[in-house]
Structure 1
Amino acid sequence: MAEEQKYQIVPEGKIRDYIDGTIRKDTPEEYVRQTVEKRLVVEHKYPKARIAVEYPIKMGDGKKRADIVIFSEEATAEEQQDQQNIVLVIECKKESVKPTDKEEGVAQLKTYMASCSNCVWGMWTNGKHKTVYQKVTDDKGNILFEEANDIPSADGSNSANDRPKRGLMSKATDDNLLFTFRTCHDIISVNEGHSKQAAFFEFLKVIFCKITDERNVTQPVEFYTTASERNNSDGQATVYKRIAAIFEEVKKKQGKIFEANDTIKLEPRTLTHLVGELQKYSLLDTRIDFKGKAYEEIVGSNLRGDRGEFFTPRNVMQMAVAMIAPREGEKVLDSSCGTGGFVVTAMNAVIATLKAQMQGEYGENIEDWPPMIRDAFNNKITEIAGENFFGFDINPDLVKATKMNMVMNNDGSGNIIQLNSLLPPHEWSEEKKHLLEARMGRAKDSIVNHKTIDLFDVIVTNPPFGSKIPINDQQILEQFDLAHTWTKDQHGKWKMNPTKLRVSVPPEQIFIERIIQLLKPGGRAAIVLPDSIFSSPGLEFIRVWLMQKTHIIASIDLHADTFQPHNGTQCSILFVVKKTEAELQEELKLGFIPNEEIFMVMVDHIGHDKRGNTVYKRDEEGNLVLRHEENEVREINAETGEVTYRKENFEEKIVNDQTIMVAEVFLKWKRQQGIVW
């Protein structure tokens, strides 16, 4: 009975309001409002009791409903019936509505604010653009609306219109960080006229500045703009100068990402607006999965290339990493790292294990740990990131993007290398080979060919694939068994022709072999591959080669929509362990490969449809199922520094995603099989 009380059914096409629980029609405008409501509670610390939705505001002889209003802290339930006790009004519109719209734009918001005598703040947003106003009265009694960076928080800890204080900045929530990143990117695109890619890299510079300033913990915050600076050209110039000084520090620390003569190619006004959007957040303290989702979506929408690149959904990455289970001290690689999702996910899995151990000794909340212990933990994270996690990619733009992803997630960016990993290793640059040799404890100049690159304990990757990007360079192909021709003898056994190469080979086929070459004996890999590798009769020789060289542990058949809306290729994830030389010799003596059990699963629900829209669980009648959740909101008294916690109840939609169950079932099966890693 208690279990049933945790769920609520919502009819199809409806949504349950985060603030008052009302069942409303699920529309684009409602999505924007629900995102704002959650931010008001979680980020801005407003109790739900101070917030009202669809509040009727009297205007002349009629009434209009404001989307969201917030009352003064002192207002009782009875006093909230009076609109003169409203201190903040928020209007939410769908994305197609523009701020300049006569009927639904910012003019409507100002009318609401003017009708509520004690209303000081207002915000208008369409989920893409946001405008905040503070209502003031001049010497002549005229009402003026001055643009501000953001609305104030309930507890005063997030006064985004003044210089922020370290320790009082907010941790961003899921959709709100994505919304902020999109807003920043759109500000650049609209105001500067840059291409999508150019706009992204200017945004990247600003994020680097934000992270660098957050790391300067002994100095006052420099990444900020005041409301007065935002609203005049002199102030905007001051902000630009301040951020440009931080960027000089960035270039010194990130010399391999930015050129020495590089500058922030944004107008002061544009840069000031970006700073105003970002300054309220502590990106370093924000949950890693929130940052990853927001960052990778922005990267993916702007840097998709024509080399067979399509980025792996986060839930699939998390499943693969949970199954491959990297451990502290193991060297982990994504040989086609894209935006860095697999590297960051694997790194964070190791960090999470360390964190859990520390929490068992020092308590659940890291903020409450002794400073010395917290510093030791952070230093250990930096050490883990810097020594054990690696990424290769041929695309220099994606390498930059991955380095930024690593910087946002405890660094390790020095091990992200621009490299065509299919090239013969003797053609890799000396600098890159020496870096790998030093990190792996190998002798200098020991990397000489494809037989000497068995460097990594774990590889988890989604290599580029497709017939449109074949590999036909003979120097590359001659390194690989799978690039040679194979024939079946009279006994049905496949044999490689050692003297005859295929004319061209789809990249995923030789990437399989390169990944095995890069593994240490006994090392393990998780590889995303097209289903043709597993089912095509003409590719049976690849399956034979895999059984010869590896223990095939698992095959996860992914849903057809996994990589939609960008790619409809049906894929699976193959999990293998590289055989040791002793195992290879033993099987050679036996004359056959012993049978082994393989874990196989079909994922029927991937959490989104072919358009990329999230799919939620529904009952047999098609009604949405909600799960009751309790969120702990941490509050800091801006004057005393006192930390308190309060509970906020809400109902969460349940994503229809089976990947979250696969790893648990696999780990149980693995233990039963006696497989240890």
Structure 2
Amino acid sequence: MANDVVTIPDGYISDYIDGKFRKDTPEEYVRQTIEKRLVNEHEYKRGQVRVEFTLHVGSNKPRVDLAIFENESVPQTQENVRIAIECKKESVSPSAKKDGVGQLKSYMSCCPNCEWGLWTNSLQKFVFRKSVDDEGHITFMEYNDIPSANGTLDDVNRPKRKTLKSASDDNLLFVFRTCHNHIYANDGLQKQQAFFELLKVIFCKIEDERNLPHPLEFYATSDERGSRDGQLTVQKRVGAIFEKVKKRHGKIFDEDAVIELTPRSLAYIVSELQGYSLLNTNIDIKGKAYEEIVGANLRGDRGQFFTPRNVMKMVVEMLDPTDEERVADTSCGTGGFIVMAMTHVMQRIEAELVDEFGPREDWGVDETMAFQERVSDVASRNFFGFDIDRDLAKATKMNMVMNNDGSGNIMQTNSLLPPHEWDMDFKSRLAKAIGRDPKSLVNWKSLAMFDVIVTNPPFGTKIPIKDTSILGQFELAHIWECDKTTGKWTMTDRLQSSVPPEILFVERCTQFLVEGGRMGIVLPDSILGSPGLGYIREWLIANHRIVASLDMHQDTFQPHNGVQTSVLILQKKSQAEKDAEAKTRHVADYDIFMAMVEHVGHDKRGNPIFVRDDDGNEVLVADEDHGAHPVIDDQTTLVPEIFAEWKKQEGIVW
């Protein structure tokens, strides 16, 4: 609970450790991320850490970014510094004469009892352990990580299940970036290839975590990382895990696939990842890290722009899918929407098992395995994702696996094609998953199979659909004429010469829904407001109940795309409802939930926006658990609860 509220001057942040206001700079961002890791992952108390601690080196008085002491009670003097940390902005090289790792080593040398040091620029990280021989000669040995407050050196070298840490804030993103950049810089691979090699290693990490109750095998000790023989040992150990990965995920990896990293790079990547529990890390932290690195490497030219996580969460919570409903995203991109929906269902499953087994933290191996098996079963039966981009489909599979092992129904296809033109492998896999005969999937009339669809289709006049065999499946691909007297639109039998894909995806998603099924879809505002597109709005009203319309802020998809968008929540009408309305020529009146989301938590550059007071200063909330922190100005978090109450008043049941 909030205990105090203060304001932060513009251009400053509140330090996570001591609460002082410091200028908001790229270097400060790195330091704040490390501070959060020290407290939340390594479990150091704030009282053990000093920020910008002054050292005395002859007549000079340099300041080390972070100094950590053995405990809160020891005098915080230079003699008692145990760990020294230097944080730099990305542009600073570790070999830089002034600000590189040499600076860190000099600070460690002048602190007689400083055993550990860490240097990072968020792209690279170096950890050193200092030793002094009988003659006073100092040597530095490179290690995987600094020890945690209550950890041991064994935990640094080979973590145990009980010592694995859940990542906090942006630290997992830091690790993924560091690993990817190491591969890119040292293995001679292009960015995209480096990305997929990193994902192979991430798969091995997850496979090892799932291998209950056996000891962890995904590790590289500091000694192994530093020697050729040790690096080869790590390669062999992780290679054995990858063989299990290929057997489990044959649709993702070919039988003869191998990890194509040098032993040195593989040992480095393993050492960076080994201390984390990817399975237990919060879904938002994990998803943000994964989707940002995917977007940086696989962003295509087919009108894709990936949906912000807060928007996806809002839409999923409004649709509220259950573990008995089939859920799909027909243009899944990196899989954010489908993973968010699966996470929503996982939380339902976990709540049920908590009622049966007790609190999650008290679960043993049997309870954890029961949860994993139920999640995998639901994911494999009820969650589906399609994308035309082969690499994005593979990335979505990996995203699902990292979160819940539900990769089986993520498939590469052009879902706008007529079903009789679908690839036979795709059609067979889809039919088997939904319990249908592949021969029954013959045209658009045979597609109703999903209860819930969540999607952000590709937009763009630059990627129009012109193929008449595709256009012929859709009423919205026909030319419509408007009666100027009545304003009513009538569909002709003539096809348009080309149609933007988002218009066709609206109708294809409706075709995929069962009667009474519901859809959350992101659409450009032109569909809802342009006079010339009135026929689309008339078609939407004729075929759906328009449950909600959310007008999103223009910066929602920035910094990548400035398209003004809305979110529609639709429920597909039954044929009986449509027939009755056609007979009476009257559509029943009903209320529509409408909202303007004016604050989405970031600006047009993608930087976070925080709540401000009347004077324009950021509001800082202090609480006992997390220290002082600003509050993200994000209205998407408010919408689902308000919508749920409105839905109850309207008698809408799902």
Q: Which category describes the TM-score, using the shorter chain as reference length?
A: over 0.9
CA offset at residue 377 of structure 1?
2.5
| Structure 1 match to 2:647 | 670
Mapped to 1, the partners of 2:648 and 2:464 lie a distance apart of 40
Matching residue of 1:487: 481
Correspondence 1:344 to 2:321: no
What does the per-residue CA deviation read over 1:288-320, in whole Å, with 9 as the maximum and x for residues that have no partner?
Answer: 111111101111111100100000000000011
The aligned residue for residue 169 of structure 2 is 174
Map of 1:142-541 to 2, 5 A cutoff? 142-156=137-151, 159=154, 161-360=156-355, 362-363=357-358, 365-369=359-363, 371-489=365-483, 491-498=486-493, 500-541=494-535
In the alignment, which residue of structure 2 is the partner of 1:642? none
Q: CA deviation at 1:630?
A: 3.9
Matched AA of 2:348: T
Are the equivalent residues in 2 in contact too, given 1:149–1:160 (CA < 8 A)? no
In the TM superposition, what is the alpha-carbon distance from 1:582 to its structure 2 partner?
A: 1.1
| Contact in 1 for aligned 2:213/2:365 (Cα 8 Å) | no
Q: Is the 8 A contact 2:332 2:386 kept in 1?
A: yes
Counterpart in the other structure of 1:644: none
Contact 1:158 1:164 in 2 (8 A): no
2: CA distance between counterparts of 1:235 and 1:140? Answer: 30
Equivalent-residue separation in structure 2 for 1:276 and 1:246 (angstroms): 15
Name the CA distance, whole Å, in 2 between partners of 1:241 and 1:357: 41
Q: Trace 1:10-25 onto structure 2 (pairs within 5 A).
A: 10-25=8-23
Aligned to 1:45: 43
Which secondary structure does the structure 1 equivalent of 2:108 belong to?
A: helix
The answer to whether residue 624 in structure 2 is matched with residue 626 in structure 1 is no
Match of 1:61 in 2: 59
Give the Cα separation in 1 of the matches to 2:41 and 2:165: 6
CA shift, 1:444, in A, is 4.8
Query: Which residue pairs with 1:76 in the alignment?
Result: 73
Conservation of the 8 A alpha-carbon contact between 1:177 and 1:291: yes
The CA distance in 1 between the partners of 2:282 and 2:99, in whole Å, is: 35
Per-residue CA deviation, residues 502-543 of structure 1 (Å, 9 max, x unaligned), is 111110111110000000011000111111100111111111
Say if 2:601 is the partner of 1:603. no
Matched, 1:108 2:103: yes
Tell me, in whole angstroms, the C-alpha distance in 2 between the residues paired with 1:669 and 1:425: 38
Q: Show the counterpart of 2:633.
A: 656
Q: Give the partner amino acid of 2:630.
A: K
**Alpha-carbon shift at residue 49 of structure 1 (Å):** 2.0
The answer to whether the 8 Å contact 1:152/1:159 transfers is no
Using the TM superposition, give the Cα deviation of residue 371 of structure 1 relative to its aligned residue in structure 2, in angstroms: 4.5
Q: In the alignment, residue 561 of structure 1 is paired with which amino acid?
A: D
In the alignment of these two chains, the number of paired residues is 653
Per the alignment, do residues 157 and 673 of structure 1 end up closer, same or farther by CA in structure 2, a change over 3 Å counting? farther
Give the Cα separation in 2 of the matches to 1:521 and 1:136: 71
- Structure-2 separation of matches of 1:100 and 1:11: 35
Q: What amino acid is aligned across from residue 382 of structure 1 in structure 2?
A: S
Asked if 1 retains the 8 angstrom alpha-carbon contact of 2:559 and 2:605, the reply is: yes
Per the TM alignment, residue 139 of structure 1 is displaced from its structure 2 partner at its CA by 6.6
Checking the alignment, whether the CA contact within 8 Å between 1:315 and 1:659 is kept in structure 2 is yes
TM normalised by structure 2 equals: 0.97
Cα deviation for residue 360 of structure 1 reads: 4.6
Overall identity of the aligned pairs, in %: 56
**CA offsets, 1:110-138, max 9 Å, x none?**
11111111111000111221111011235
Structure 2: distance between partners of 1:444 and 1:348? 30
Aligned-partner SS, 2:22: strand
The letter for the 2-side match of 1:30 is E
Per the TM alignment, residue 362 of structure 1 is displaced from its structure 2 partner at its CA by: 4.5
Q: Counterparts in 2 of 1:541-620, with a 5 A limit?
A: 541-620=535-614
Mean CA deviation greater in 187-196 or 583-592: 187-196
Change (3 A) 1:270 1:160: farther
Match of 1:520, SS state, is strand
- Whole-angstrom distance in 2 between the partners of 1:656 and 1:281: 30
- Residue 292 of structure 1 contacts residue 341 of structure 1 at CA under 8 Å; is this kept in 2? yes
1:450 CA displacement: 0.5
**What amino acid sits opposite 2:478 in the alignment?**
H
- Bigger CA drift: 426-435 or 569-578? 426-435
How far apart, in 2, do the equivalents of 1:523 and 1:529 lie?
A: 19
The aligned residue for residue 639 of structure 1 is: none
Task: Give 1:132's match in structure 2, choosing from 108, 127, 131.
Answer: 127
**Aligned amino acid, residue 638 of structure 2:** M
Which AA in structure 1 matches 2:644?
A: L
Distance between the aligned counterparts of 1:191 and 1:162, measured in 2? 23
* 1:257 Cα deviation after fit: 1.1
* TM-score of the two chains, using structure 1 as the length reference: 0.94
Aligned partners of 1:297 and 1:375: how far apart in 2?
30
Structure 1: distance between partners of 2:622 and 2:348: 27
Deviates more, 1:122-131 or 1:620-629: 620-629
Q: Deviations over 1:209-244 (max 9, x none)?
A: 111111122333221111111112222222222222
Q: Which amino acid aligns with 2:333?
A: G
Question: 1:610–1:51: structure 2 CA closer, same or farther, 3 Å change rule?
Answer: same
**2:482 touches 2:488 (CA, 8 Å); kept in 1?**
yes
Task: Report how far residue 256 of structure 1 moved.
Answer: 1.3
In structure 2, what is the Cα distance between the partners aligned to 1:313 and 1:339?
12
Give the letter for the 1:226 counterpart.
Answer: T
SS of the counterpart of 1:46?
A: coil
Contact 2:30 2:87 in 1 (8 A): yes
> CA RMSD, aligned part only?
1.7
In the aligned structure 1, how far is the partner of 2:370 from the partner of 2:101? 49
2:112 match: 117
Partners of 1:627 and 1:651 within 8 A in 2: yes
Distance 1:113 1:492 in 2: 78
Q: Is the 8 A contact 1:229 1:239 kept in 2?
A: yes
- Partner of 1:627, secondary structure, is strand
Q: Is the 8 A contact 2:155 2:163 kept in 1?
A: no
Give the 3 Å change call, closer, same or farther, for CA 158–411 of structure 1 in structure 2: farther
Instruction: Specify the code of the residue in structure 1 equivalent to 2:408.
Output: G
List gaps (5 residues or longer) in structure 2.
Answer: none
Give the letter aligned to residue 32 of structure 1.
V
